[in-house]
Amino acid sequence: MNKTLVVDIETIANRELPQEYKDYYYEMKKDKKITVDKLKMKKNREKIESEYALHPQTGKLLMIGYLIYDSEKAEIEQETLIECTEEQMLIRFWNMVHQLVILNGYKLITKYGKLFDIPFLFFRSLYYPLSIVGTPYYSKLISPYNTDYHVDLQNFMPGKLGELSYLLLGNPLDTDTGDMIAEMYAKGEWNRIKEKNRVDITTTFQIYQRMSKFIM
């Protein structure tokens, strides 16, 4: 039986970071070869800050998109979690993982989820004083060699999702990449962000459907 839960997240820089931590983070991440050139130091700091959304220490959750498929029901449920707080999104996500993946045998499907999405969600969850039911299975969800719960396409098909979509599915090359989310967010282009998320999830699902029979 083919039962899948496909997940993809979008993240943004955390605007609530205290300046003290920003300064500390920069000292940890800065290019140690740059010592006196103020212009280079400024550009180096700007580059580091432009990547805040990629790290759970400096970023936060913007939305979680998911697709649920059960071959017996032959129906697809797809939704984007956005109209709620980060804490609420995290609770709903871990509850969904516990109910579908842990208790009912759905496969969690992602692209790069074992190295990015799931660790990001887990780290962000630690900020809140909650007992979240899905988190005890965290180690199994990120294990690169365990596909009982989670199949990450990146472990089988390295390469960007848009590239795989073009080569394997014949879709147009996607021009909206993940590093454009901050720009879209700043412009208030919520529909464009949601559409990018929806396309990424659908593409991940379609690629997994093609390769699922080859995965133990």
For the domain that residue 200 is a member of, what is the CATH number? Answer: 3.30.420.10
Give residue 43's domain range: 19-53
Residues 79 and 39 in one domain: no
| Gap between the Cα atoms of 109 and 27, Å rounded | 36
Could you tell me if 94 and 116 lie in one domain?
Answer: yes
* Predicted local confidence at residue 71, as pLDDT: 85
pLDDT-derived band at 12, boundaries 50, 70, 90: very high
Q: Are 104 and 169 within one domain?
A: yes
According to the model, what pLDDT value does residue 37 have? 87
Dihedral (CA of 131, 136, 141, 147) sign: negative
Same domain, 115 and 195: yes
53 falls in which pLDDT band (50, 70, 90)? very high
Tokens of 19: 């300046």
**Residue at 162: amino acid letter:** G
- 161-169 and 190-211 helices, crossing angle to 10°: 50
Encoding tokens for residue 148? 């009982």
123 & 23 share domain? no
Phi and psi based region of residue 171 (left: phi greater than 0; alpha: psi -120 to 50; beta: remaining): beta
Both 174 and 75 in one domain: the answer is yes
Q: Please indicate, yes or no, whether the overall pTM of this predicted structure exceeds 0.75.
A: yes
Of 81, 83, 86, nearest in space to 67 by CA:
81
User: Average pLDDT of 122-135?
Assistant: 75
The first and second tokens of residue 115, run together, are 């190295």
